[in-house]
Amino acid sequence: MDSRLTISGEIAGAPLNSSLSRSADGAIRHGPITLPAAEAGDLSTRTTDTTGVLTIAGTTLQIGDTIDIYWDGGRRYDVDVDNVVADDVTFSGGAGDILPAVSTAITAARQVAIATDFDGANLVAVGALCTAHGHLSFQEGGATELSVDLPAREAWFWLNGSTAPNPLVSTVVDSIRASQSGSVAAAMLDLGVLYDSTP
């Protein structure tokens, strides 16, 4: 299985046009995946840096949901919904940035689970692109082993042989969870994985 990534552009006038190729034994394609629009509201109660209450008019969030919370300049992911009473969503946990000040406008998105199965030690290439600002959690056994922030329409990728170490070398990925921050419309996510049979 062969894949090619083409980069075209410049930085400070220096051309950076390049075509990057990798070959692997196997490939996994996820996408295009629809990420539903997030729900808009505000942080009405800030109990601690990681717990509080969101007020979201007409929320569809439910107890037991795992959500990502976005605001201008920050986000928390893998957050637990502990209680929902009318428009008030009590939450806790997760990781990422500490919560902003009370009354900050937020969006909250229920994570979309993507079933997958690959050993990160055998990874040759991985990449993703989302039409809106989004987030990926690469998980093993229900625990997030790699968190990736996806700026809108900016590709994220890793290739073996690059200067960066393999971010999933110690992870057998059995699920990827994704969300997007926009509250107006759904977003589309594409994700690809190349892997060899052995490291």
And the tokens for 3? 């894949």
pTM as predicted: 0.91
pLDDT at 2 over 80: no
With a pLDDT cut of 90, the percent of the chain lying above it is 85
pLDDT at 167 over 80: yes
Residue 187: CB atoms within 10 A of its CB come to 26
Residue 109 parent element (H or E) = strand 105-110
CB 114 within 8 A of CB 130: no
For residue 20, what pLDDT is reported?
80
Instruction: Give mean pLDDT, residues 66-74.
Output: 97
**Which tens digit of pLDDT belongs to each residue from 172-187?**
999 999 999 999 999 9
**Which tens digit of pLDDT belongs to each residue from 127-160?**
999 999 999 999 999 999 999 999 999 999 999 9
**Which tens digit of pLDDT belongs to each residue from 24-37?**
899 999 989 999 99
Place of tokens 């190349």: 194
Domain edges within the chain: 2-35+112-195, 39-110
The b/e string for 75-105 (b: 16+ C-beta within 10 A; e otherwise) is: bbbbbebeebeeeebbbeebebbebbeeeee
Instruction: Give mean pLDDT, residues 40-59.
Output: 98
For residue 199, what pLDDT is reported?
61
Q: Specify the range with the lowest mean pLDDT, choosing from 20-24, 46-50, 114-118.
A: 20-24
Closest CA to 74 of 107, 27, 48: 107
For residue 197, what pLDDT is reported?
83
Peptide bond before residue 32 is cis, with ω within 30 degrees of 0: yes
**Three-class DSSP category at 122:** helix
For residue 6, what pLDDT is reported?
83
Query: 22: buried, middle or exposed (CB in 10 Å: 19+, 13-18, 0-12)?
Result: middle
**Which tens digit of pLDDT belongs to each residue from 5-19?**
787 888 999 988 888
Closest CA to 43 of 51, 53, 35: 53
Tell me the pLDDT of the chain averaged across its residues: 94
For residue 159, what pLDDT is reported?
93
pLDDT at 4 over 90: no
CATH code for the structural domain at 2-35+112-195:
2.60.120
In angstroms, the CA 21 to CA 6 distance is 9
Q: Is residue 66 left, alpha or beta, with left meaning phi > 0 and alpha meaning psi from -120 to 50? A: beta
DSSP per-residue codes, 8-37: --EETTEE--EEEEEE-SEEEEEEEEEEPP
